[in-house]
Amino acid sequence: MEYKEWTIRKITANDTKPALDFIIPMLQEIYPNMSGIVVRWDLANMEETYTVDPKTAMFAAFDQAGKVVATIAIRPYDDRIDKVKGYYDVTKTAELSRCYVDSSLRRQGIAGKLLAVMEDYCRSVGYSDICLHTHRFLPGGYPFWLSREFAVRAFGNDPDETIYMDKSLVINEQRLLCSG
């Protein structure tokens, strides 16, 4: 999708380095005390994680110069999180992650557009639900997800104040009848 100042598209193997060049500084900005950012499995294996399996994807917003300015990713949820263990149908649930927008471009609608593209993609590959976790200290994260119809599933009792959220991708037929 092309917009006035950026283009959104699914990353390819050729885009993994530019995506990492954006993500690593974002993580260092958002989580200044986190160690081992680059050794996270998905980041150390970007191509394998996000470009090979059709049930996984990373979308990025590229500026006019071709630089990554925002990202969002999904992959199948693997039921690894104790707080919501057993709640999701792992065959139909995508876990959303790596949603970052360059701090100078926030509040311009980029994240909303990335999310809309991601939701369409999720539906096209058979997901019916998306889950994610965020933290209260992240600037704008929790209010953004609430504004996009994500519901709180659970609150963590951890120092990072983790919030577990989800959203159904099943289109409500009643809503379609009322608006159509």
pLDDT at 175: 45
pLDDT digits (tens, 9 = 90+) for 67-125: 999 999 999 999 999 889 999 999 999 999 999 988 877 887 889 999 999 999 999 99
Q: What is the CATH number of domain 6-179?
A: 3.40.630.30
Q: C-alpha angle 48/165/89, rounded to 5°? A: 65
Domain boundaries, given as residue ranges, for the chain: 6-179
pLDDT at 136: 84
Distances (CA, A) of 18 to 14, 21, 67, 83: 8, 5, 7, 34
Q: How confident is the model at residue 12 (pLDDT cuts 50, 70, 90)?
A: very high
